[in-house]
Amino acid sequence: MATQLVDAHGRRVRKLRLSLTDKCNLRCHYCMPLDATFMSEAKYLQPAEYFEVVSELCEVGLEELRLTGGEPLMRKSFDEIALLLSRLPLKKIGLTTNAVLLDRHLDVLKQARVEHLNISLDSLDATTFHKVTHGNHLARVLKNIELAKKAGFSVKINVVAMRGVNDHEVFDFAEYARNLDVEVRFLELMRIGHALEKQSSQFISAAELMKNLGTRYQLTREVTSLDSTSFNFRLSNGARIGFIASESKAFCGQCSRWRLSADGIMRACLFKDDGLSIRSTTSGERGALYRTLLGMKPFLRPAEVIHPMNAIGG
Ligand code: SAM
Ligand code: SF4
């Protein structure tokens, strides 16, 4: 077997976030402006290019793939790409989505063994949902989450916690997690791209959210894998709750992820603007490029990044 991708700190690359588009049907205020501009579709990697790159990464130890964006379900060739990638020897394939279009894709996701769905849902209240996303799709998203659960998908809900916006909803989410039997994970607002504007005023730490939840529930720690981005708890109401504390409790020392943007830039870190383009490269050239990229992964969390989240692939 070819040599695995392990860096000087012993971090092995075994997960890839694959961005299919930077476009989106929502405009979450921390992610992109209302008048966001997007890359030309002519720049997109083609299905066969995704297949080739992911296939060779599987040979050097890639185990898990997550399709993301932008909103990945907006990519016109989503079905073709997902079905093609499902042929590869991946242990786990996931999708991160806002779920607006999810019902139309559940059948193909099943066929393509995309079993792990991370769904963004920042509020259970229609007014707040609109305030955050600039979309009126709360009812549709809630219905699609239920459909996905009923169809047997593993569903995790991502909630970006924001002071003064949705932090008063932690208890509602704890009840939602229990009632629907889904894991709800609170993400700290990261210092990335468009979020930089309001990050300091809206940031709320995982520790503060845990303290708030602790006033009503007992929290029991659950075991997670070493390179997991979240730390998880079972609440005394039975809910499964996690925290992704990238700001206050960065996990760079155990990070096992690379990211490939829709226009073919491979990045070793979400917080690094610089990456290497795999476009029009030969397999041999990519081998050398991967070795260079191993050395580009920071060990300590960079303070912030200006590059927009939707373009890197969240
Ligand atoms: N459109 C899909 C979605 O929203 O799930 C996938 C792409 S989105 C960029 C991936 C995840 O990143 C979402 O859960 C979103 O809430 C989160 N996200 C985006 N910007 C963020 C920020 N500045 N801090 C924390 N999470 C962020
Ligand atoms: Fe779209 Fe996801 Fe960004 Fe929201 S977080 S604007 S749903 S890409």
pLDDT tens for 122-149 read 999 999 999 999 999 999 999 999 999 9
Q: Which ligand is nearest to the CA of 198?
A: 1
pLDDT for res 273: 85
pLDDT for res 2: 65
Residue 161 within a domain: yes
Site to probe by mutation for ligand 2, drawn from 21, 22, 30, 31 as the one with most ligand atoms within 8 Å of Cβ, is: 31
Residue 8 within a domain: no
Q: How far is the CA of 241 from the centre of ligand 1 (A)?
A: 18
Residues 215-236 have a mean pLDDT of 93
Residue 6 within a domain: no
Q: Which of 276, 301, 283 is nearest to 56 (CA)?
A: 283
Residues 228-238 have a mean pLDDT of 94
Pocket of ligand 1 contains residue 96 by CB under 6 Å: yes
Residues 115-119 have a mean pLDDT of 98
Residue 117 is part of which domain span? Answer: 15-312
Nearest atom within ligand 1 for CA of residue 192: 23
Residue 284 has pLDDT above 70, yes or no: yes
Q: What is the CATH number of the domain that holds 130?
A: 3.20.20.70
Q: Which ligand is nearest to the CA of 187?
A: 1
Q: How far is the CA of 83 from the centre of ligand 2 (A)?
A: 24
Banded model confidence at residue 295, pLDDT cuts 50, 70, 90: very high
Residue 4 within a domain: no
Q: Which of 277, 276, 278, 263 is nearest to 308 (CA)?
A: 263
Residue 171 has pLDDT above 60, yes or no: yes
User: pLDDT tens-digit profile of 207-223?
Assistant: 999 999 999 999 999 98
Closest C-alpha to ligand 2, atom 8: 70
pLDDT for res 23: 97
Residue 224 has pLDDT above 90, yes or no: no
Residues 12-34 have a mean pLDDT of 96
pLDDT for res 46: 97
Residue 100 within a domain: yes
Q: Which residues contact 284 (CB under 8 A, 6 or more apart)?
A: none
Q: How far is the CA of 242 from the centre of ligand 2 (A)?
A: 20
In this prediction, what percent of the chain has a pLDDT beyond 70?
99
Cα(166)–Cα(119) distance, integer angstroms = 17
Pocket of ligand 1 contains residue 160 by CB under 6 Å: yes
User: Taking the CA of residue 40 as centre, how many other CA atoms within 13 Å lie in the half-sphere pointing to its CB?
Assistant: 2
Pocket of ligand 1 contains residue 133 by CB under 6 Å: no
Pocket of ligand 2 contains residue 120 by CB under 6 Å: yes
Q: Name the domain count of the chain.
A: 1
Q: How far is the CA of 314 from the centre of ligand 2 (A)?
A: 9
Residues 263-278 have a mean pLDDT of 93
Residue 105 within a domain: yes
Q: Which ligand is nearest to the CA of 160?
A: 1
Mean pLDDT of the chain: 95
Q: How far apart, in Å, are the Cα atoms of 202 and each of 165, 176, 189, 191, 285?
A: 8, 23, 8, 11, 43
Q: How far is the CA of 31 from the centre of ligand 1 (A)?
A: 7
pLDDT for res 272: 86
pLDDT for res 89: 97
pLDDT for res 194: 86
Q: Which residues contact 37 (CB under 8 A, 6 or more apart)?
A: none
Residue 27 within a domain: yes
Query: Please, what is the end-to-end C-alpha distance for the chain in angstroms?
Result: 30
Residue 1 within a domain: no
Residue 313 has pLDDT above 80, yes or no: no
